[in-house]
Amino acid sequence: MKPKAFDYLRAASADEAVAGLAKGGDGARILAGGMSLVPILNFRLADPELLIDISQVKDLDYIRVDGNMVQIGASTRQAKVMAWPELAERVPLLSKALPHVGHYQTRSRGTVCGSLAHADPSSEIPLCLATLGGEVVLKSASGERRLGADDFQTGMLSTAKRDDEMVLAARFPVAENGTGYAFDEMAQRRGDFAIVAVAAAVSGSKIRLGVGGVADKPTVAEWGNIAGDELDDALNAFAWDLGGYDDVHAAARYRRELVRRLGRRIIEEARA
């Protein structure tokens, strides 16, 4: 199908983009890579009055190490982040997750920040940000603010971003010495939406396990460095807490089983 008619604004800077948002109100949407937004427009599930294209804003196309954070700008494509030579060392979890994001032909255009703004509950990038305890930088015409991943994503396809704000950047904590990271997911085909995705960060004293695709947003459990039956019990309790649902792809029961099994496997992989 074809999208409904909209006005188009190609922004040359973040300031122009947020000025557009201030003017456009709740009818305005930011267009970055468009790999999630344009299908929704083609299906007419969304019909914005104004699209503000930031895909060619050069100042927002960057990967920057800022102290103990890696900051990624709003127009930075996933393929560029994947090809960043320092990624495996700085943010190993993201390096392991990015090959699962869409396909080669969509990562070439899709952005890291756009995936966060879209906030699909089974997406890999929001799951990584939540598991690592990263942040999102929001900008409006009246200023900037930062929100932690958990405060930013509020549910299925919904975030705490106001209509007059854009996601300016994402901030991923740099890997800590002595912490291992692992990621895996179950999808019907490689690159399809994950039925369940899991991400782990495990140190000598702490396990953080993030799960996507079960609850209405990526959800993180934190335990001491438990193992054996104690870990299985904790994973089982977590699987039930997530409140999975049945859909055409999988039953809730299957999703819980994936949380137990993939969770266990990924924690052990991160520990190794």
Partner 1 sequence: MTELGRNARHNISFILNGESVSGSAEPRMLLTDFLNYELGLTGNHVGCEHGVCGACTLLIDGNPERGCLTFAVQVDGRDVKTVESIAGREGNLNDLQLAFRKHHALQCGYCTPGILMSLTAYLEDTPDPSEEELRDMLSGHICRCTGYVGMVNAVMDVVEQRKAKA
Q: Where on the chain is the footprint of partner 1 (CB under 8 A)? A: 1-12, 16, 34-35, 38-39, 42-43, 51, 53, 55, 79, 99, 102-106, 108-109, 189-191
Phi, psi of 42, deg, nearest 5: -60, -35
Alpha-helical (H) ranges within 43-168 are 78-82, 87-90, 92-97, 104-107, 112-118, 124-132, 149-152
Q: State which residue, 158 or 188, has the beta carbon closest to partner 1.
A: 188
CB of 186 to partner 1, least distance (A): 15
Nearer to partner 1 among residue 17 and residue 94 (C-beta): 17
Sign of CA dihedral 141, 147, 149, 155: negative
Helix, strand and coil in the chain, % to nearest 5: 35, 30, 35
Start-to-end CA span in the chain (Å)? 48
Least distance from C-beta 48 to partner 1, angstroms?
Answer: 11
Cβ proximity to partner 1: between 100 and 208 the closer is: 100
Supply the minimum distance, in Å, between the C-beta of residue 94 and partner 1.
18
User: Smallest distance, Å, CB 34 to partner 1?
Assistant: 5
Alpha helices in 133-251 (DSSP H): 149-152, 228-241
Give the number of other CB atoms < 10 A from CB of residue 65: 11
Nearer Cβ to partner 1 (80/271): 80
Whether 153 contacts 217, CB under 8 Å: yes
Closest CB to partner 1 among residues 6, 223? 6
Q: How far is the CB of 207 from partner 1 (least distance, A)?
A: 29
Cβ(216)–Cβ(156) below 8 Å: yes
The CA distance from 148 to 130, in Å, is 8
Q: In whole angstroms, what is the distance from residue 44 CA to residue 256 CA?
A: 33
Q: Which CB, 53 or 269, lies closer to partner 1?
A: 53
DSSP type of residue 213: S
How near is the Cβ of 1 to partner 1 at its closest, in Å? 7
State in angstroms the smallest separation of the CB of 17 from partner 1.
Answer: 9
Pick 148 or 191: Cβ nearer partner 1: 191
